[in-house]
A and B are shown apart, each in its own frame.
Chain A
């Protein structure tokens, strides 16, 4: 009845300490292919630390992060640096909270997408440009803006460009840190719509961190709630939001103005 396939990502016993401060502690979860997982919690709860560890940006103090790569399962905390980097740039994608961290603002929008393809061995200029153009349009950026610098883009456009840059290599797993924060509500809706479509069309798995429970409700299948570095509640998104069990989750849910 359950899918027999191995999870795309298996996280076990993951902890990260900054000196004596706890980033995240003993986190464990599985992520299936095509699944969207939201990590919620207030600032300082360890969401971004967890995301960083799982996405291979930060090395955890202990634990395992096993990714089912095209060449079989790999523990990202123990494999060679070369292997890890290869997986990060071809089979995973990251959309940062701040577009400055995910884009190069001084090269063109098309160049930003092309750069990631070149890092994966693409050499044919025409084909790179063609792929970049396709993705620019796919994330609803006007094709005429292809040669403009991203610093001339609005926040919402920069965020969508980041999405295009991460997805152009067809990763199976994408991470996003607060993808909609700092965007106007209408701009947010557009990004959500683009993400929803892409997740469906490419059967992507997605892990995103957010403090916006409304965004989590509309996009995520499953949700993890974090407090002081620990996962305190997990379940189907609608379960966690409509029937929260943990006192802290109840507090979070009851604090939403309109849900």
Chain B
């Protein structure tokens, strides 16, 4: 099948001007392809660039060199060249992202936060509300909390709001950064089910899981980001060791 995501010779480093101009390398030449319905887990030690890869694909980090191509509407967008407009459109329709932390305007009710991605697509409020309520219900957020701002919720509740928001609309490409990290086993199961359901609808999933069991349960293959000793010493390269083990 044709890819939805194609990463070519991706390079990224950070230059910290406030700390003497230190250069921190992340990737040197990363290549990766993901097809609709496919699920891949990004693995590697802390600091290897797992979250950075997701952020680069979401257009949150700027690309140093190489290309990240995503099929969007009737064409292909290269994130290295896309304007802000196009990236926002990509985020609205094609690429979903569940980050580790929820960032919202205090005072906005949880229900509105979950409905928002649908509303931005022009979905009617009644339909958006139905979908949001059903997700909050599935994720066991008690109804009395729906009208409150999640800024006062517990860590696990905030994460579930984040997940509900991420899965409210269907995205052909989903980026999940440790979506089960602070959940109990029951809610964890629900999240894994949501991921499978999205896959069955044809979504491609690129995820980071801390828990090896969760990773095995949801992903077909792993992408290992290995941090070379040189990288650890802030020299120059990191490399992709393998894209192993097809389903």
Contacts and interface: CB of A to CB of B under 8 A. Distances in A.
Interface of A: 1-3, 32, 186, 189-190, 192-193, 196, 200, 217-219, 221-222, 235-236, 238-239, 242-243, 245-247, 250-251, 254
B108 interface: yes
B107 A189 contact: yes
B103 A2 contact: no
B89 A239 contact: no
B61 interface: yes
A245 B106 CA distance: 29
A86 B101 CA distance: 46
Contact of A239 (B62, B85, B103, B106): B62
A3 B85 contact: yes
Interface in B61-75: 61-62, 72-73, 75
- The majority secondary structure among interface residues of chain B is mixed
A246 B62 CA distance: 13
Contacts, number: 64
Contacts of B60: 236, 238-239, 242-243
- The majority secondary structure among interface residues of chain A is helix
Contact of B105 (A189, A246, A247): A189
Given A2-B86, A221-B88, A247 B17 contact: yes
A2 B89 CA distance: 8
Interface centre among B17, B88, B103 (most CB of A within 10 A): B17
Interface in B161-205: none
Contacts of A221: 84, 88
A247 B20 CA distance: 10
A193 B109 CA distance: 10
B16 interface: yes
Contacts of A186: 106
Interface string B120-134: 000000000000000
A25 B55 CA distance: 33
Interface residues of B, number: 28
A1 B62 contact: no
Contact of B59 (A1, A236, A250): A236
Contact of B17 (A190, A217, A236, A251): A251
Contact of B103 (A192, A217, A236): A217
Contacts of B119: 200
Nearest to A218: B105
12 contacts: A1-B72, A2-B86, A32-B85, A193-B106, A235-B84, A236-B60, A236-B87, A238-B60, A242-B55, A242-B60, A243-B60, A254-B18
Contacts of B83: 2
Contacts of A192: 105, 107
Contact of A243 (B17, B62, B86): B62
Contacts of A189: 105-107
B227 to A, nearest CB: 20
B62 A250 contact: no
A193 B18 contact: no
Contacts of A251: 17-18
